[in-house]
């Protein structure tokens, strides 16, 4: 379901941009013999048949110089936690401390990687260096030319390095062939014009893949649907914003959860979310809460993260709480310990690895983490019901 993010890293003029163009078959990145041509990260989507939809990211050289060069290196470093696989690109048989430090960074994020010796048409990889690197790092070391080599062996390595996802389906273990799944999808000011939001689209695709039956309606249509059709859904999934309303219209014996909670389950740290949500009862005046939005969008009075959740928490706790918001994958400037609670959106726009790397510093520091859907369910008194089906 997630796109696979592959980052190309290395010194200036090792041919990273030429490599990216060769991999995608398009002149996406500017290629020049001048060192430092690539300044900002350049991304390109690509489909590897039978493997994954991928996003290649070309980056500035790790040996860039000057004040601007330092900013480019910092930006490159910020991209590493967002990647699923790294290609460490070297050339001219050069492998020194800069490359070693990159690999140390990969280790901090458990980031799978391979080493690619580029420009083999100008200078082939020395067998001794290949042997040393393979023995030291236990990763593939390939000799390659962006101008003359086939990309097939390289793309085959992508399939081998690809991280496993768990669960593989949003509905794994809770729905299957023949299941009837009712999707409650309100159309409000936050819904994109003429389209559904991504979690709803992803859920529909999962239902089709499972050979289940999906029924989609708005919350005000629930009662008429149940009464007129006599259909009893095996599972109801709702937009979190109408959790409370939907819970009163769906009989208690029918399992009920939200798109956001199912996404949280598929992305990781699910048990931490469940434990962290209960910390809401311990919040005190002045506590700082961080809301992480994995997408960027126009904020309105109906915004779930910037308006509805803060209002719910203030009302539920009766406390004077402080809220901060970070959109997309922008850097988190404060230390983890400065927050009393972190609330992550469903994360439909980021990969499981990106979301996990974002939350890991807080989990390691013992800062409670939760999820949009869980917070809404908890403050409306339906938290136990919303996660009950995962405990069966």
Does 332 fall in a domain? yes
Pairing of strands 113-118, 85-91: parallel
The per-residue pLDDT for 70 is 87
pLDDT attached to residue 34: 52
Separation CA 373–CA 381 (nearest Å): 12
* pLDDT at res. 297: 46
Pairing assessment for the beta strands 52-58 and 85-91 based on DSSP bridges: unpaired
Beta pairing class for 235-238 and 213-217: unpaired
pLDDT for position 324:
95
Cβ within 8 Å of residue 184, ≥6 positions away: 217, 218, 219, 222, 236, 237, 238, 239, 242, 246
Note whether residue 35 is domain-resident: yes
Q: Are residues 258 and 275 in the same domain?
A: no
- Same domain for 121 and 82, yes or no, is yes
Same domain, 38 and 132: yes
Between 74-88, 129-143, 186-200, the lowest mean confidence (pLDDT) is in 186-200
User: Tell me, what's the pLDDT at 347?
Assistant: 84
Rounded Cα–Cα distance for residues 370 and 269 (Å): 9
| Alpha carbon distance 229, 226 (integer Å) | 6
Higher pLDDT residue, 308 or 305?
308
- Sign for the CA dihedral angle at 30, 35, 40, 41 comes to positive
Are residues 124 and 157 part of one domain?
yes
Specify the CATH number for the domain of residue 331: 3.40.50.11410
Q: Which tokens sit at 289?
A: 């809460």
Q: Are 188 and 241 in contact (CB under 8 A)?
A: yes
As for how many domains the chain has, the answer is 3
Q: Domain boundary at 131, 161, 191, which? A: 161
CA 191/CA 193 separation, integer angstroms = 6
Q: pLDDT class for 189, splitting at 50, 70, 90?
A: low
Domain-ending residue, one of 98, 128, 161: 161
Q: Is residue 321 part of a domain?
A: yes
In this model, does residue 240 exceed pLDDT 70? Answer: yes
- Kindly state whether residue 301 falls inside one of the protein's structural domains: yes
Name the token pair of 112.
Answer: 């799978």
Banded pLDDT at 190 (limits 50, 70, 90): low
Confidence of residue 179 (pLDDT cuts 50, 70, 90): very high
Could you give the count of Cα atoms lying within 13 Å of 318 in the half-sphere of its Cβ?
A: 1
* 116 and 221 share one domain: no
Are 129 and 255 in a shared domain?
no
- Average pLDDT, integer, range 374-385: 96
For residues 257 and 211, state if they share a domain. Answer: yes
Residue 336 token pair: 């983890």
Q: What span, in angstroms and rounded, lies between the C-alpha atoms of 30 and 15?
A: 11
Residue 173 lies in a domain: no
Q: What angle do CA 227, 232, 237 make, to 5 degrees?
A: 105
Q: Identify the CATH number of the domain in which residue 226 sits.
A: 3.40.50.11420
Q: What is the band of 24 on the pLDDT scale with cuts at 50, 70, 90? A: confident
Residue 88 lies in a domain: yes
Both 30 and 11 in one domain: the answer is yes
Give yes or no for a contact between 305 and 293, defined as CB atoms under 8 angstroms apart. Answer: yes
Question: pLDDT digits over 147-159, tens only?
Answer: 888 988 888 898 8
Label residue 304 by pLDDT band (50, 70, 90). confident
Together in a domain, 135 and 204? no
Percent of the chain past pLDDT 70, that is, above it, reads 90
**Residue pLDDT, tens place only, 315-344:** 999 999 999 999 877 888 899 999 999 999
Give a yes or no: residue 171 inside a domain: no
Q: What is the mean pLDDT of the chain?
A: 89
Task: Write b or e for each residue in 353-367: b if 16 or more Cβ atoms lie within 10 A of its Cβ, otherwise e.
Answer: bbbbbbbbebbeeeb
What is the spatial distance between Cα 119 and Cα 123, in angstroms, rounded to a whole number? 6
327 lies in the same domain as 236? no
Three-class SS of the chain:
CCCEEEEEEECCCCCHHHHHHHHHCCCCCCCCCCCCCCCCCEEEEEEECCCEEEEEEECCCCCCCHHHHHHHHHHHHHHHHHCCEEEEEEECCCCCHHHHHHHHHHHHCCCCEEEEEECCCCCCCCHHHHHHHHHHHCCCEEECCCCCCCCHHHHHHHHHHCCCCCCCCCCCCCCCCCCEEEEECCCCCCCCCCCCCHHHHHHHHHHHHCCCEEEEECHHHHHHHHHHHCCCCCEEEECHHHHHHHHHHCCCCCCEEEHHHHHHHHHCCHHHHHHHHHHHHHCCCCCEEEEEECCCCCCCCCCHHHHHHHHHHHHHHCCCCEEEEEECCCCCCCCHHHCCEEEECCCCCCCHHHHHHHHHHHHHCCCCEEEHHHHHHHHCCCHHHHHHCCCC
If asked whether residues 24 and 154 sit together in one domain, one would say yes
Q: Is residue 389 part of a domain?
A: no
| pLDDT of 301 higher than 60 | no
Give the tokens for residue 243: 């959790």
Same domain, 194 and 123: no
Q: What's the domain range around 25?
A: 4-161
CATH code, domain with 113: 3.40.50.300
């Amino acid at each position: 379901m997630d796109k696979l993010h592959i980052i190309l890293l290395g010194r200036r003029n090792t041919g990273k941009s030429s490599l990216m163009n060769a991999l995608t078959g398009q002149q996406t990145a500017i290629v020049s013999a001048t060192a430092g041509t690539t300044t900002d990260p350049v991304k390109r989507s690509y489909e590897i048949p039978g493997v994954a939809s991928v996003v290649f990211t070309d980056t500035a050289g790790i040996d860039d110089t000057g004040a601007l060069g330092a900013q480019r290196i910092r930006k490159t470093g910020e991209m590493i936690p967002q990647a699923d696989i790294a290609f460490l690109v070297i050339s001219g048989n050069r492998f020194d401390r800069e490359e070693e430090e990159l690999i140390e960074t990969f280790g901090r994020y458990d980031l799978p990687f391979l080493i690619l010796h580029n420009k083999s048409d100008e200078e082939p990889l020395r067998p001794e260096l290949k042997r040393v690197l393979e023995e030291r790092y236990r990763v593939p070391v390939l000799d390659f030319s962006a101008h003359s080599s086939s990309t097939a062996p390289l793309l085959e390595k992508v399939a081998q390095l690809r991280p496993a996802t768990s669960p593989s389906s949003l509905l794994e273990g809770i729905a299957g062939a023949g299941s009837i799944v009712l999707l409650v999808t309100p159309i409000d000011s936050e819904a994109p014009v003429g389209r559904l939001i991504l979690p709803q689209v992803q859920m529909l695709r999962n239902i089709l893949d499972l050979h289940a039956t999906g029924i989609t309606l708005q919350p005000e249509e629930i009662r008429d649907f149940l009464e007129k059709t006599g259909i009893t859904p095996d599972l109801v999934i709702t937009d979190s914003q109408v959790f409370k309303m939907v819970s009163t219209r769906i009989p208690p014996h029918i399992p009920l959860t939200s798109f956001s909670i199912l996404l949280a389950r598929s992305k990781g740290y699910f048990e931490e979310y469940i434990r962290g949500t209960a910390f809401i009862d311990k919040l005190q005046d002045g506590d700082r809460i961080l809301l992480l939005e994995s997408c960027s969008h126009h904020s309105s009075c109906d915004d779930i993260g910037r308006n509805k959740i803060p209002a719910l928490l203030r009302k539920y706790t009766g406390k004077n709480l402080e809220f901060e918001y970070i959109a997309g994958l922008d850097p988190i400037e404060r230390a983890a310990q400065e927050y009393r609670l972190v609330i992550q959106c469903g994360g439909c726009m980021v990969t499981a690895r990106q979301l996990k790397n974002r939350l890991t510093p807080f989990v390691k520091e013992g800062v409670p983490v939760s999820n949009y859907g869980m917070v809404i369910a908890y403050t409306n008194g339906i938290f136990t019901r919303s996660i009950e089906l995962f405990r069966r």
